[in-house]
Amino acid sequence: MSERPGEAFREYVDVRLPALHRLAYLLCQDRHRADDLVQDTLVKLYLKWDRAMAATNSHAYARTTLVRTFLSERRTNWARRVVLVDRLPDTASSTDPDAADAVAVRAALAGLPPRQRAVIALRFYSDLSVEETGYTLGCSPGTVKSQTAKGLAALRRALPHVEPDGTAPARTRS
């Protein structure tokens, strides 16, 4: 890394921006909102850059800042969550089953409460341990486990046609 803080921050952002944006998108389910969330996170990170660099894992520090910013926004400012449109959004027109599954999974994730969505994204997308996820969210490992179980159960209910191994469930004869 560079000696000057501005350059070090710029180099860090160049490397970590795609990962932060993907995590933000998983949490928000909206590309524009994810851009805003990443921007807010980077501002906070820049203001605390000395602390982030002193942390044992600067990537975890940034990820924690992003998730906590997301959860904080979900708790407050309800008007930002209300979206008024004059027409329904376009639906996916692809006949590719993988694209349809991806849309279904995104919709199911969007239906989860913010904390469960954050736990699922951190545990299964960012591949964090229970302890790392708890630290990121500021909660106990038991809370992470219960939120994970509730989130997975809700996803299974929302996606009954997909088994954990990616296959369709076997049909039984009546």
Do 27 and 118 touch, CB atoms closer than 8 A? yes
Q: pTM (2 decimals)?
A: 0.60
Q: What is the mean pLDDT of residues 113-132?
A: 92
Model pLDDT, residue 98:
75
Residue 108 belongs to domain spanning? 94-168
Domain boundary among 32, 48, 83: 83
Does 88 reside within a domain?
Answer: no
Interatomic CA distance for residues 118 and 145, integer angstroms: 12
Those residues whose C-beta lies under 8 Å from the C-beta of residue 173, and which sit 6 or more positions away, are none
> Is residue 159 over pLDDT 50?
yes
Which amino acid is present at 138?
G
